[in-house]
Every structure is written in C-alpha cells, then in structure tokens.
Amino acid sequence: MASSGSQTKKHDNHSDHLVQPTNPNVAAMQEDVLYHFSLSTSTHDFPAMFGDVKFVCVGGSPTRMEAFAKYMAKELGLDHPGAEYPNICRGTDRYAMFKVGPVLSVSHGIGIPSTSIMLHELIKLLYHAHCSDVTVIRIGTSGGIGLKPGSVVITRQAVDASFEPVFEQVVLGKRVVQRTHLDEELVQELMQCALDLLEFPTVIGNTMCTSDFYEGQGRLDGALCSYTEKDKQKYLQAAHSAGICNIEMESSVLAAICGACSIPVAVVCVTLLNRLEGDQVSSPHEVLVEYQQRPQRLVSHFIKKRLAAAQNPLNL
C-alpha cells in the first residue's frame, strides 16, 4: 500500500529535515511549557539536552521504556559500571523519558488520548531542540488475530474499529479525519532487520487501533458485554479477512500526528495472544517478559544498522 504524500521521501534524501510542528503559533511563543513532561523552554536548554536525537522509541509502560533505554545503552556501547539513566520527566508522574546517545525512550500510557498528548509535546520538544531526520517507532504489545503468540507485527497501515485507515477526532465541534498511512520504506527496512535476526516470527500487516480494551476489541470478559461469542468471532474473522493482524490502542494517532508533521513513524508490536482463541492474557510472566523484548531487539538492530550506515554512507 502506498505511503501518504507527506511521508514518501526516502530517509536518506531528507538530510537536515528539521522537525516542524504545523502550528504556526508555536514559533511565536516566548516560552513553551511542556506541562506533561515537566519541561519548559525557559528553564531547560532543549538543543543541549536533545539536539542529537535521531530515534524516538515510545511505548506504554514507563518501566518498559526505562528497560529499553538501558538495553540500548549496552547495544550502543554506551553502558558502563555504575551508569544511571535518570527520568528526564521526573518532575511529573504522567510520562517517563530516558535518553541514551541519539535515542530517546518515552512512555505514552494507554490509549489514543494519552498518546496524543505525549506526541504534541514530543514534537514541540524536538522542534525546540532543532532536531533533524528523526524517526519515531512505537514498540509495544498487542492482541494477535490468527497469529501465534509471540509473533511480531510491523504495521503497514493503522485502521479504526470499522477497518478504515483513518483517525477521527472532534475539533471545535467539527469532525476532523486524518489518514493513517505509514512509511512503506520504513516498514520494509524493519522487515529486513527481522530477516537479519531470524529470532522470532515477524509479519507485515494492518493494525486495528481501538478506543477501548474490552468491548471495543470484542472481548467477552469485561464488566459489560452486549454481544455473543458468535458475534465476536464474526467480527474478528472479518478483521482478519481485511488484512488486520493485530489490535492495540495507539497506532492510528501515531500515524496521523507524525504523518501530519512529516515525521517517519513505524509501529512494531508483539502479540501476547491469538484473539481468535481467547480474550485473556494467560501466558506465564517470564514468557510475557521475553515476548515484550522482541520488538526491542528488532528496533535495536534497526537503529544500529542506521547508525552504521550514517557513519559509512558509501558502504566502504
């Protein structure tokens, strides 16, 4: 499927592509308070703190994103005995942020609203820091449709609960719809990284983004349930037929907001269960921990390949 017009440039053809919000009011602000990050342009030197960021990896859990930062430190050879990775957003309990070299690791909480707030402030942070050529990747968990638990899905297109490739919200009382296409070149680059590793099953497919974990995803085990097992199976089978491989709650807003700002974005999620076979996540804790590390290993390999290519662009 073709990428959206705002994301069709090749990553090696937009050198010095500065992060730029589409809101013209941001440039006119004397001070910009990123309230949910507990950061401000008047109290923090954004270019000094974040100017070298090239990769932003986001995920729901603060603990998971801290673990990813520590993992990346080892992978990039930046770890050393006694090294600490402080939470840059420690002045708030809304989000957590960690930095290791050119990699920023940020939590976004659960669902579209929390992720949207994080993205608005993240993009402004990158803008104030004069960051360029930034790639954003979500590393997370999901429910699979017709996939073995532990499979990794690289999202080609984020769709809503009606299987439409759109993100919809109401702005000033009016319905606003944005497209949710993802960068196809980035998708293929990540898939090649999975083929390099050959450590776990990985597929490219569409991802359904919902606004609810229970009824919104057709579960039978919530406090409310207005449908039958037969209804659920019919819906999930229809999703599977539409090319949907997994279900989560953040991909559409990532695709829409990053796409609007011409920031290449990808979504890489592991499946914790096959929703055609059940609703509850029941695998042992140690199995789930290993599953959650799979997107991290894939994205780490991608980052290392990108950095190596930047250091040796002619592949000499």
Average pLDDT over residues 238-264: 98
Confidence tier at 80 by pLDDT (50, 70, 90): confident
Distance between CA atoms of 292 and 85, rounded to whole angstroms? 20
Q: CB-hemisphere CA count at 13 Å for 19? A: 32
Distance between CA atoms of 245 and 206, rounded to whole angstroms? 6
The annotated binding site for phosphate is made up of 94, 138-141
Question: For the segment 29-76, what is each residue's pLDDT rounded down to a tens digit?
Answer: 999 999 999 999 999 999 999 999 999 999 999 999 999 999 999 999
Q: Is the pLDDT of residue 312 over 60?
A: yes
Q: Which residues of 197-218 are buried (b: 16+ CB within 10 A; e: fewer)?
A: eeebebbbbbbbbbeebeebbb
Distance between CA atoms of 166 and 209, rounded to whole angstroms? 10
HEC assignment per residue over 69-137: HHHHHHHCCCCCCCCCCCCCCCCCCCCCEEEECCEEEEECCCCHHHHHHHHHHHHHHHHHCCCECCEEE
Q: Is 56 helix (H, G, I), strand (E, B) or coil?
A: strand
Give the DSSP H/E element, type plus range, for residue 59.
strand 55-59
Average pLDDT over residues 111-140: 98
Question: For the segment 126-154, what is each residue's pLDDT rounded down to a tens digit?
Answer: 999 999 999 999 999 999 999 999 999 99
Return the bridge partners of 140, or none: 269
CA distances 191 to 24, 156, 157, Å, are 36, 11, 14
Task: Check residue 5 and give its pLDDT.
Answer: 40
The annotated binding site for substrate is made up of 217, 219
Q: Is the pLDDT of residue 116 over 70?
A: yes
Question: What global pTM score does this model have?
Answer: 0.92
Q: Is 171 helix (H, G, I), strand (E, B) or coil?
A: strand
Which fold does the domain 10-275+282-306 belong to in CATH? Rossmann fold (3.40.50)
Task: Check residue 1 and give its pLDDT.
Answer: 35
Would you kindly state where each structural domain of the chain is located, as residue ranges?
A: 10-275+282-306
Q: Is 309 helix (H, G, I), strand (E, B) or coil?
A: helix
Q: Is the pLDDT of residue 12 over 80?
A: no
The annotated binding site is made up of 94, 138-141, 217, 219
Question: For the segment 179-217, what is each residue's pLDDT rounded down to a tens digit?
Answer: 999 999 999 999 999 999 999 999 999 999 999 999 999
